[in-house]
Amino acid sequence: MNLPGIETLVKAPFAEGDVFIAGRWCAAEDGRTFPVHDPATAEPIREVSAAGPGDAVAAVDAAQETAAGWRATPPRRRSEVLHTAFALMREHTDTLARLIVLENGKAYRDAVAEVGYAAEFFRWFAEEAVRIGSSFGDAPGGGFRHVVRRHPVGVTAFVTPWNFPAAMATRKIAPALAAGCPVLLKPAPDTPLTALAIAALLSEAGLPDGLLNVLPTDRAPEVVSVWLRDERVRKFSFTGSTATGRKLLAQAAANVVNVTMELGGNAPFIVCEDADVDAAVRGAMDAKMRGGGEVCIAANRFYVHQSVAAEFTEKFAAAMTAVRAGAGLEEGVTLGPMINRTAVESIRSLVDDAVGRGAKVAARGGVPEGPGCYHPATVLVDVPDDARIMNEEVFGPVAPLATFADEDELVARANATVHGLASYIYSRDVARALRISERLESGMVGLNRGLLSDPAAPFGGVKQSGLGREGGREGIEAFLETQYIALDWPTG
């Protein structure tokens, strides 16, 4: 199957429907559909099949049927499929990026960056597939041997978010397939089309039928609870909010399912008195505005040393005012619409709360007239620590600024959150910045960098930001079980 063009995907992708099970496209069991919207116009793009509980069972059946064959497939062959998927994804960058813009709204340049990022997960895990080690050694006390082998965990189920419809899918699919596991994927209802394109792309890359099953739906709880109650599903990976993650963890406990959770963040962005302020402003734009701020590791609250606060605020406010908002495919646009109207309302309410508590607006960019789901790039100053925006994930293009005077006070404020996903720090003194980094309760730190995500590095959080890591060497570990065999073979 060739990757369908964007027009095909948008208008009428697959004659039989959009549920992808056992290598075939079909309608939902009861023929139900749900609408997908273009955030730039808030108008529906088209109806998509809404998988139900019966489809969820059929997908587990299909996955389970392929599990033994894929597990026995030589790692080199699994790697080749992933290498081909990487090449195909790169070849189809424009089609996939336009599809992401259409259903997610982000600016085209962000969408192109996402396709590159997503493709790199295929390349990285193609390289990891052939390096799954086992070991054979002597028991320290003598008398017998240790055989320690790694094998795939089994059928895996994923729930992915709308903010990176391609990269959050490939970050889970690639290591699972590399390790030898079949996959069930439920994409976010706002952005199912990109996941369908990825299914088509993996088929084209030679992935045998049944190894990737994609179930778009607007009845997620029904589909996901079928998976979490089915003893054949041995791994569950979720990216989304901490509130939903908590509920899913409780459900996964019933069958003691192995879980990975990539949950919410509340990233501090710290500018020390010895920072290169221009570099800090560039980093702040990257950390705040990538994907329109709809990113779990986006800088959420800014702590700027009081001695550089005036200079940083002036330069950052100028950069935020220069942001051009508009439909993601328009030339020169750097900020697309938010995902939907609810998201815009939630960002607005955080801004209103901060202003109500004494914060001032230092910059507000423009937005196009009309019905699209836009929120302007905004900088707030003098934001008190108890403002909701300092304590909740804003998930939009708003930067609240506060100042600090002393390192201990800074670290205490930065750590005063249940989240611990990412942090950013700018200082010319790397030893000092490293010292502060090590004091931060944070799974990841960008040190003099506003962009930190890399498929070859472990992504994940501490505290209520999640469990486990994705990407890096750790990413494939999440899909492997360890078996120890005590071998009665005397040591020589």
Enzyme catalytic residues = 262
**Taking Cα atoms as reference points, which of 432, 421, 428, 459 lies closest to residue 299?**
421
* Nearest-angstrom CA–CA distance, 194 and 100: 6
Q: Which residues of the chain form contacts with ligand SSN (CB under 6 A)? A: 163-164, 167, 295-297, 453, 459
Q: CB–CB of 457/123 below 8 Å?
A: no
* Nearest-angstrom CA–CA distance, 455 and 476: 11
Shorter beta-carbon distance to ligand SSN: residue 236 or 459: 459
The nearest distance, CB 454 to ligand SSN, in angstroms, is 9
Shorter beta-carbon distance to ligand SSN: residue 223 or 295: 295
Shorter beta-carbon distance to ligand SSN: residue 114 or 128: 114
* Nearest-angstrom CA–CA distance, 180 and 172: 13
The nearest distance, CB 274 to ligand SSN, in angstroms, is 28
Strand duo 258-262 + 183-186: pairing? unpaired
* Nearest-angstrom CA–CA distance, 234 and 260: 12
b/e sequence 331-360, b meaning 16+ C-beta within 10 Å: eebbbbbbbbeebbebbeebbeebeebebe
Query: What's the angle, vertex CA 360, arms to CA 354 and CA 362, rounded to 5?
Result: 125
Shorter beta-carbon distance to ligand SSN: residue 22 or 113: 113
The one-letter code for the residue type at 261 is: M
CB-facing half-sphere around the CA of 51: CA atoms within 13 A: 32
- Residue 99 to residues 4, 115, 181, 223, 226, Cα–Cα distance (Å): 11, 11, 28, 25, 30
The residue whose Cβ lies closest to ligand SSN is 453
Shorter beta-carbon distance to ligand SSN: residue 79 or 453: 453
The nearest distance, CB 294 to ligand SSN, in angstroms, is 8
**Taking Cα atoms as reference points, which of 382, 381, 378 lies closest to residue 397?**
378
Q: CB–CB of 477/181 below 8 Å?
A: no
Query: What's the angle, vertex CA 257, arms to CA 53 and CA 443, rounded to 5?
Result: 115
Shorter beta-carbon distance to ligand SSN: residue 233 or 299: 299
* Nearest-angstrom CA–CA distance, 58 and 285: 45
DSSP assignment of 130-161 equals: TT---EEEE-TTSSSEEEEEEEE--EEEEE--
* The two three-digit tokens of residue 191, written as one number: 């952005």
Strand duo 43-49 + 33-38: pairing? antiparallel
Shorter beta-carbon distance to ligand SSN: residue 182 or 450: 450
The one-letter code for the residue type at 299 is: A
Query: Which helix (H) or strand (E) is 59 found in, with range?
Result: helix 53-72
* The two three-digit tokens of residue 238, written as one number: 């979720």
The nearest distance, CB 145 to ligand SSN, in angstroms, is 42
The nearest distance, CB 72 to ligand SSN, in angstroms, is 32
Shorter beta-carbon distance to ligand SSN: residue 196 or 296: 296
